[in-house]
Structure 1
Amino acid sequence: MKTNACTRSFLTHFCLFSIAFLLLQSTALSAPESVTAAKAGLFDPAVMNESFEESELSSGSWSQGVGNPWSVFGTPGRLFTVYQGGGYPNAAMGSQFIDGYDYTIYQQIGTYTSDTDLQVEAWYGPRVDDSAELTVALLAGPAYADAKIIAAKTLTAASKINKFTIDFNTVTQGTTGDPLFLQVSGDPKRYGNLDFIQVHTDAPTISRTNVKAQPVKTEFSDDLRQLIGDYNTVFDSPSQDETGNVPLGNGNVGMNLWVEEDGDLLFYVSRNDAWAEAMTLYKLGRIRLSLNPNPFRTGYPYRQELKLIDGRCDIEAGREGQKVSLSVLVDSDSPTIYVKAECEVPTMVTTSIYNWRIGNRRDMHEPMNSISSWTFAGAPDSVEMYESADQSDWISEPGVITTWHRNEDSIVPLAVKWQHMEDYADIINDPFKDNTFGMRVSLDSEAGAQVIAHNMIRNKKTDKNFTLRVTTHAAQTPTLEEWQTQIRKLAATAPSPETAIDRTSKWWNDYWNRSWIFISDNSGTDKSAFEVTRAYVLGKFQYACQMRSKYAAHFQGGIFTVDPKIAWYGPDPRDTGATPDYRFYGTDYWWQNVRFMYLPQMAQGSFDFMKPFFSLYLDKAEIFKARAKQYYNAEGIYFQECMSEFGLPAMRNFGWGAEEYSEGYTRNIWQQALEYGVVLLDYCRYTENTEFLKSKVIPWCTESLRFYDTRFPKDDDGRIRITPTHAVETYWVDVVNDQPSVAGLHYICRRLLALPANVTTDEDREYWKKIQASLPPIPKRKLDGRTFPDNAESYNPQRFNFEAPDLYTVFPFRIYGLDITDQPIEEARYAWKKMPNPGHSCWYQTGILAARLGLTKGAKEDVVIRSRTRMVRTDTLVRPLPEFRFPGYMGSPHDWCPDHDGPGNMMSTLQEMLLQNTDDGKMLLLPAWPKEWDVKFKLHAAQNTVIEGTCKNGQIEDLQVTPKERLKDVVFSSSEMSE
């Protein structure tokens, strides 16, 4: 780096950091070849001391500005400068010239577990004042702003550089699953002191489940960039209303963005952890940005592009000479929304905040409020439940408005009481009490900004450039004041809009590099190939916008719901006062639906997205055991179809005044824990994570078997007799040995007994064999000389819903399959053709069943129909109903919209049409792929394998398998079945 005199004076007092890139590589970087400080041209050797050579960090060039993964906390002083480079992707250097200012640099290095263990090697010094200190600390918390120090070591400098080894062994003070931060803080004491530190760590555990992130490419190829860009959403005119909104998000914070013709730019702000008292998921509010002169006038040029590869929306509008360019995004690494604007003429900017809950306490007995909280719905009048009013502050900080909702109560104690679980209250976590969420809105303008009303901010005079910042935050805090301190700290540490744009683009580039599927029709006449690819790509985008939260995503609208008066399912909410917080079915987790959001993530290489899904159920295993004991005096694990975030069923399903779970459709469905066990086993098959397998997965699966063993009686032959039971939601009456339960028990036993002996115990294996020997046979029946799987051993044929319980033998339990020989696959194919209700939306399993059976035509039909199931506005008499402008919003005949389980279902089908893992380690390639579709693909497979290639006219080209030794396990399995 070339330096001027001013920069060299800064460099007489600096700190230097280097750390291995833990989240992707999990290895320490090797140091560059040692050179003298003089050769590097960076530092004065007389000041640095010859021992600087020992650090091996003096080579490489440096540039001003800190970036991912390091962040600077606070404002240490007006002459504090940060540099990055030095031949290390993660190196940062701080220069501090003014005496008496501390400095702190930090980065997230993983996720806390109870066995967090790492080592730091540091070279530190020299010092003019030996009393100067530098502290290396580990912090854990939901975000850096609320993170607590869980371990720290302080180093005291000497007159020369000394090497220190710092061990952080088995740190046990954090909360499992919280982000883990490495923080380095210096206190120079006085001018002339020199900070110098090199940090290397062993790879810490990066999640509670030891998730291994797959390596990804760091750069897009031009070809891939163009392929992604073909599915950008581009508008050449503003929208009529919020039916023209497009989604943006960073995995937890989201926004629905739209521009109204002759109007303004607007967006809803949402978070996946904005829980109110009754487990309703609130919007944080709506923002309106008004510009004068207005570039959105009718007839003015307009172009809006949702840039998928960069995770942002760019808008250019206005007539010649008065154009406005806007970049809108949610920062990938902070809970901050940015609207960055460049105007050709000085512009007056007004920001308005609309919060429909300010001053309005909500009585949860009101019908539209109650439906939004399935956890409270149906409560008797004697049970009181309110959600507190939102508040705002437009006085404390000049030019800033902060709004928030603070929970004064919680539904959890009510649910514990009414479900007779008081004896187990100590194991039921309450995520709602004192939860506080909100946003801090500010306007950065050279002209300055001022609050002109309780909900409005305006620049003090016209300006050509400005940035609207919306900092969001949610946390359970003992006091409101603590939350306010935290959100201010988050705002103070948020990066510049330029840094946010750059690092957000990099995150999304890396995300798209994990996997892809791009389809084209080789006849050139069928537009369905484009429609299916678009649905797949835009579905992935929406998932990535909301799947990095502490909590699992929601299938019924997720964080992208809109005003229910425009699009609804169920009761008509018009003229009811319903707000954008409303959604039918509330925010409870329905197993049949939520699973489809997470199943495709493994083949896409997004194992990190699985963490909240694992937490949702795994972390509540003790609650599930307690429920088995309480209601049935049984042992083991089970959970029911509809579950709250805190581990108990929604009260609408349990029943107010009921002795046990009583909702008719789902009362006696038992196999959910077995299905979840398959997901866990598949995850371990993909990642080869034996520690997770032994500590979490095998115990879960064993306890799910134990529930059946202790819940149900044995017949005269010693076989488990499962009754009362349902065959999913379709058959309720006189059902014995329902197929989903029987198939699940057989399949889990088979998978467990196939595990290597070194990850199991003799005691476990004997128990699995005992269970296996006590299982009833797979129910089958005969018709017209054909044998095929049945819905149960015996049942009343009256139907109450539209599932195919008989085909749970194909998905999720692979009793039948293309590679399985002990059950004739033609039996299952015949059952598929005889399905009474082969649906193609929402949770219907029609497509994935067809793919697993090699029924190419049926699988293709399913994904094509799903790709055309668009979200429509329901507030009009126009027929057909007008679609929302964003083509990625999917509709559903069963759920609140946008629907998110339907797209995931389609993704799984499409992926299994291309690639299937077998139970013996093989990979079936093209098992149900139509020859008329060409495809470029990259998918992840079992044993940390990645398969990339192109298929043209039914022939594979450019096949790449990583690692190469897995190529021998690829089986070409193109299936042309008569359907």
Structure 2
Amino acid sequence: MDKAKRATLAGLTAMAVVASARPGAGAERRQDDVDPLDRRMADYDPVWRSASRDAGESMPCGAGDIGLNVWVEGDDVLFYVARSGAFDETNSYLKLGRARLRFDPSPFGRGASFEQRLSLVTGEMVVTCGDLVVTLWADVASPIVRVAVESSAPVAMTATWESWRTHDRDYLPAEMSMHRAYDGAPVTPRQYADEVGFAEGGVLSLHHNRDNSVFDLLIEQQGLDEVKDQLWNPLAGLGFGALLHGDGFVPAGTVEGRYGSTAFIGWTLGSRRPQRRHELRLFCHVAQAPTRDEWIAGLRRLAMSDSGAAVSRRRSRRWWRSFWERSWIVVEPGGARPNSQPWRIGRNYQLFRHQLGTNARGAWPTKFNGGNFTVDPEFTQPELRLSPDYRAWGGGEFTAQNQRLVHWPMLKSGDSDLMRPQLDFYRRLRRTAELRTQHYWGHKGACFVEQIENFGLCCGQEWGWQRTWNKPATRMPGVEDSAFVDYLWDTVLEFCLMMLEVGRFTGAHVSGDLAFIDSCLTFFDEHYRREHARITGSELGADGKLVLFPGTACETYKNTLNSTVTIAGLDAVLAALLALPERMLGTALRERYAALRTTLPKLPTRRMSGRQVIAPAALWDRIQNVEIPQLYPVFPYHRFGVGLPNLQLAVDTWHHGVDTAAQKDIKSWHQDAIFCARLGLTDEAAMLTARKLDDSGRRYPTFWGPGHDWAPDHNWGGSGMIGLQEMLMQTPGDLIHLFPAWPRDWDVDFRLHAPHGTRVDATLQAGRLVALLVEPPAAQSRVVLPAWATGLEPS
């Protein structure tokens, strides 16, 4: 926006800005008997009044690092159970299993009133039919799923644990996307059966990985045998499974059946007698253990540590209430308005944030391609008649470009603790990345690939199975044999910036992050100096700048010279480091980083449609994909945007600087709404965000996809959240710009988080700011408002 139409709060002495001491604002601040949080979240609770046709019409529930897909079908309440980290020998990401609950007499399908509700404020799923109430939740502090059943009259109950991994088999060619490392490999990936049976007082299921896994396969493929003993292997001895248990339940036999296209065997527990109340517990154990017996011992310890349903419920409810009090965006507040697209945008923002919250304490980050909420693929693509374990784009393989979008929105929503699993993913792989660099190129620094397995090596398919280490290589050592991701190493810079931004927002810098970031910067500095010296004899170009060749601008512009993404990423990370206080960055490092920044090439530009625009790179030889890397200096790297210099150059790049129509889109990982919000293009940002965050077309509104990826598409939701946040608040430098790309006719009540431990609550009604609360109060001087929101805009 034009600077003439902005005013800082420090100068708004005549303006009536209401600063409330209570959370929330506007209509929600009435002194009535309903808690504002309960009222706000109840409007967003998903509620279904009829049963589902199949698992494709399931609702998500979960907590800690457990995800449940819950639905009612026929006379049964069913739910899939997934827990982060359940990777088999092939690095497929497997469900723990499926539970089926049945009641006698059954209330379902007999004309009784029906409701399935996800209570967002409690994190619980409640199914009510007649006088039967089934409540499910996952404990936030311990990997336990709980089922509580209440009925006004005694009912008998059975609980069946269903497994489809009942025999050893070769994975099918159609399942290759579950473990892409094997695509083209000289071996066939094999699935080994789970061990399932009546044990430990209930039904026990266990998958314990064999000694040989895809880790060993890729070590050999990528020529790393001499450093194998120094590399971390998270698949070795990994076991995952569950124990289904309930007081008063006894073994009641096994059943065989088929759900969708997949045969299963079920182990049934039955209640000894009809009762008005039943309780079940599902202990979900994932751990590395050298032997099966040691894994079982760990499961027993988990079961013995159970503090009971009442304690679990209280602490889980407290956690969810605290989660929702951290942050919200309510568009068109004042009650449910499902026929309004802006209202649905706000609701879906909240629903998707709930999905992210279910993996708040995971050892592994939420995966972009479904998280813990995938179901049988035939309910997404009918031709894929495969098991419920299927997902496209890998299990233990993490695509960096997609993962970042799942985690960036957590910063402004105040959920930086949810970012830790993603940042830990990189932290624990630093040594592997440094060993790869030393092994392949003989210099220092950490090199992270784009399609990265959870143990830090390149996906086998992207590395290329036609290159071997006893034949001439088709590629240089260390470079993927891939048309899309070769030389794509700069995504780690975004996670470096994420680490620094967490520190800037919260003040809590993680010990070791500066060393991690330094190692990543060292790789780029040393690698491109040595590459240029190898070719020309000089480390730097004639202008004294690094020559970033060969490189890539995302997966789209290939074989680049001086990729805009790499330059912007290095510049953003170095600028953030140089902004750190003296106590964190000593003189020697500060001088080193300042010197390195002077060696960065200028962002390349070109003329298109008569306008000067940012170019994706200085040179490239082909366009391979449909990203817009020339706008990565806008997002994620924030070199351009509202309140920053040269905004028009970036605006012209959006309007005139794209090469193909397919580069602009709203599905999956496309960032168009974020770009437009950062550029202050209100109408375009609103239109794109409305399309991005509107209902998915599935029964559950935020199960988007498959798009480019899989369903539910979590990087679709994450990028949508970022766009909505950026429309409301941007934080260049120390300033806090409110409503930089917000439509005046969208009423909104929000709480978001800004740098330096700042929290902003604001309410906009009829195009005017009617309430504002900034904590701490001193931060109010950093707030910048558009004149139209303050009433000071000239008539």
TM superposition score normalised by structure 2 = 0.87
Aligned partners of 1:221, 1:655: CA distance in 2, in Å?
Answer: 60
Cα shift at 1:709: 4.5
Match of 2:124 among 289, 301, 312: 312
What is the SS of the residue equivalent to 1:743? helix
Aligned partners of 1:814, 1:693: CA distance in 2, in Å?
Answer: 25
Q: How does 1:351-750 map to 2 (within 5 A)?
A: 351-358=159-166, 360-364=167-171, 366-380=172-186, 383=187, 385-394=189-198, 396-398=199-201, 400-408=202-210, 409-445=212-248, 449-453=250-254, 455-520=267-332, 527-568=340-381, 572-574=383-385, 578-587=386-395, 588-658=397-467, 659=477, 660-690=479-509, 692=511, 695-696=514-515, 698-700=517-519, 702-713=521-532, 714-733=540-559, 735-750=560-575
Q: 1:905 to 1:701 in 2, by over 3 A?
A: same
Match of 1:786 among 605, 611, 621: 611
Aligned partners of 1:732, 1:698: CA distance in 2, in Å?
Answer: 26
Aligned partners of 2:345, 2:338: CA distance in 1, in Å?
Answer: 14
Q: 1:827 is aligned with what amino acid?
A: L
Q: Which residue of 2 aligns with 1:774?
A: 599
User: What 5-or-longer segments of structure 1 have no aligned partner?
Assistant: 1-214, 871-882
Aligned partners of 1:452, 1:671: CA distance in 2, in Å?
Answer: 55
Q: 1:975 to 1:852 in 2, by over 3 A?
A: farther
Aligned partners of 1:591, 1:450: CA distance in 2, in Å?
Answer: 45
Q: Is the 8 A contact 1:568 1:897 kept in 2?
A: no
1:268-298 CA distance string (max 9 Å, x none): 1111111111111111111111111111124
Q: Is the 8 A contact 1:737 1:793 kept in 2?
A: yes
Q: 1:773 to 1:827 in 2, by over 3 A?
A: same
RMSD, matched Cα = 2.5
Aligned partners of 1:849, 1:526: CA distance in 2, in Å?
Answer: 27
What is the SS of the residue equivalent to 2:86? strand
Cα shift at 1:869: 5.5
Aligned partners of 1:553, 1:969: CA distance in 2, in Å?
Answer: 34
Which has the larger displacement, 699-708 or 268-277?
A: 699-708
Q: How does 1:828-839 map to 2 (within 5 A)?
A: 828-834=650-656, 835=658, 836=661, 837-839=663-665
Aligned partners of 1:606, 1:459: CA distance in 2, in Å?
Answer: 41
Q: Is the 8 A contact 2:64 2:143 kept in 1?
A: no
Cα shift at 1:763: 2.3
Cα shift at 1:695: 4.2
1:538-586 CA distance string (max 9 Å, x none): 10000011232111111101111000121139xx322xxx201111111
Query: In the alignment, does 2:631 pair up with 1:807?
Result: yes
Q: 2:269 is aligned with what amino acid?
A: I
Aligned partners of 1:826, 1:550: CA distance in 2, in Å?
Answer: 43
Q: 2:350 is aligned with what amino acid?
A: V
Aligned partners of 1:221, 1:513: CA distance in 2, in Å?
Answer: 15
Question: Percent same amino acid among aligned pairs?
Answer: 30
Aligned partners of 2:509, 2:161: CA distance in 1, in Å?
Answer: 50
Q: 1:712 to 1:948 in 2, by over 3 A?
A: farther
Q: Is the 8 A contact 1:247 1:542 kept in 2?
A: yes
What is the SS of the residue equivalent to 1:402? strand
Aligned partners of 2:527, 2:365: CA distance in 1, in Å?
Answer: 27
Q: Is the 8 A contact 1:635 1:711 kept in 2?
A: no
Query: In the alignment, does 2:696 pair up with 1:865?
Result: no
What is the SS of the residue equivalent to 1:602? helix
Q: How does 1:58-207 map to 2 (within 5 A)?
A: none
Q: Which residue of 2 aligns with 1:248?
A: 61
Q: 1:828 is aligned with what amino acid?
A: A
Cα shift at 1:444: 2.6
Q: 1:393 is aligned with what amino acid?
A: G
Q: Which residue of 2 aligns with 1:816?
A: 640
Q: Which residue of 2 aligns with 1:168?
A: none
Cα shift at 1:699: 2.4
Aligned partners of 1:895, 1:698: CA distance in 2, in Å?
Answer: 29
1:639-677 CA distance string (max 9 Å, x none): 121101111111111112435411211112232122222
Q: 1:780 is aligned with what amino acid?
A: T
Aligned partners of 2:413, 2:169: CA distance in 1, in Å?
Answer: 41
Query: In the alignment, does 2:633 pair up with 1:825?
Result: no
Q: Is the 8 A contact 1:605 1:939 kept in 2?
A: yes
Q: 1:773 to 1:694 in 2, by over 3 A?
A: same
Q: Which residue of 1 aligns with 2:260?
A: none
TM superposition score normalised by structure 1 = 0.71
Cα shift at 1:707: 4.5
1:307-355 CA distance string (max 9 Å, x none): 010000112213xxxx211111112222111111112222221111210
What is the SS of the residue equivalent to 2:749? strand
Q: Which residue of 2 aligns with 1:933?
A: 746
Aligned partners of 1:692, 1:632: CA distance in 2, in Å?
Answer: 28
Aligned partners of 2:636, 2:376: CA distance in 1, in Å?
Answer: 36
Aligned partners of 1:344, 1:869: CA distance in 2, in Å?
Answer: 37
Aligned partners of 1:729, 1:889: CA distance in 2, in Å?
Answer: 26
What is the SS of the residue equivalent to 1:538? helix
Query: In the alignment, does 2:106 pair up with 1:297?
Result: no
Q: Is the 8 A contact 1:286 1:353 kept in 2?
A: yes
Cα shift at 1:416: 1.4
Q: Which residue of 2 aligns with 1:285?
A: 97
Q: Which residue of 2 aligns with 1:230?
A: 43
Match of 1:851 among 651, 673, 677: 677
What is the SS of the residue equivalent to 2:359? coil
What is the SS of the residue equivalent to 1:933? coil
Cα shift at 1:385: 4.4
Cα shift at 1:460: 2.1
Q: How many residues align?
A: 727
Cα shift at 1:221: 7.0
Q: Is the 8 A contact 1:677 1:700 kept in 2?
A: no
Query: In the alignment, does 2:784 pair up with 1:971?
Result: yes
Q: 1:690 to 1:253 in 2, by over 3 A?
A: closer
Q: 2:204 is aligned with what amino acid?
A: T
Query: In the alignment, does 2:80 pair up with 1:273?
Result: no
Aligned partners of 1:730, 1:955: CA distance in 2, in Å?
Answer: 42
Aligned partners of 1:678, 1:502: CA distance in 2, in Å?
Answer: 37
Q: 1:690 to 1:487 in 2, by over 3 A?
A: closer
Aligned partners of 1:708, 1:924: CA distance in 2, in Å?
Answer: 39
Asked which structure has the greater RCO (Cα within 8 Å, sep 6+), the reply is: 2
Q: Which residue of 2 aligns with 1:346?
A: 154
Aligned partners of 2:587, 2:34: CA distance in 1, in Å?
Answer: 51
Cα shift at 1:711: 4.8
What is the SS of the residue equivalent to 1:467? strand
What is the SS of the residue equivalent to 2:246? strand
Q: Which residue of 2 aligns with 1:898?
A: 712
Aligned partners of 2:59, 2:125: CA distance in 1, in Å?
Answer: 9
Aligned partners of 2:541, 2:60: CA distance in 1, in Å?
Answer: 55
Q: 1:624 to 1:693 in 2, by over 3 A?
A: closer
Aligned partners of 2:62, 2:321: CA distance in 1, in Å?
Answer: 15
1:489-523 CA distance string (max 9 Å, x none): 32233233233222221111111011110001899
1:902-944 CA distance string (max 9 Å, x none): 111111111111111112x111111111101111111111001
What is the SS of the residue equivalent to 2:412? coil
Q: Is the 8 A contact 2:767 2:788 kept in 1?
A: no
Q: 2:250 is aligned with what amino acid?
A: A
Q: Is the 8 A contact 1:635 1:706 kept in 2?
A: no
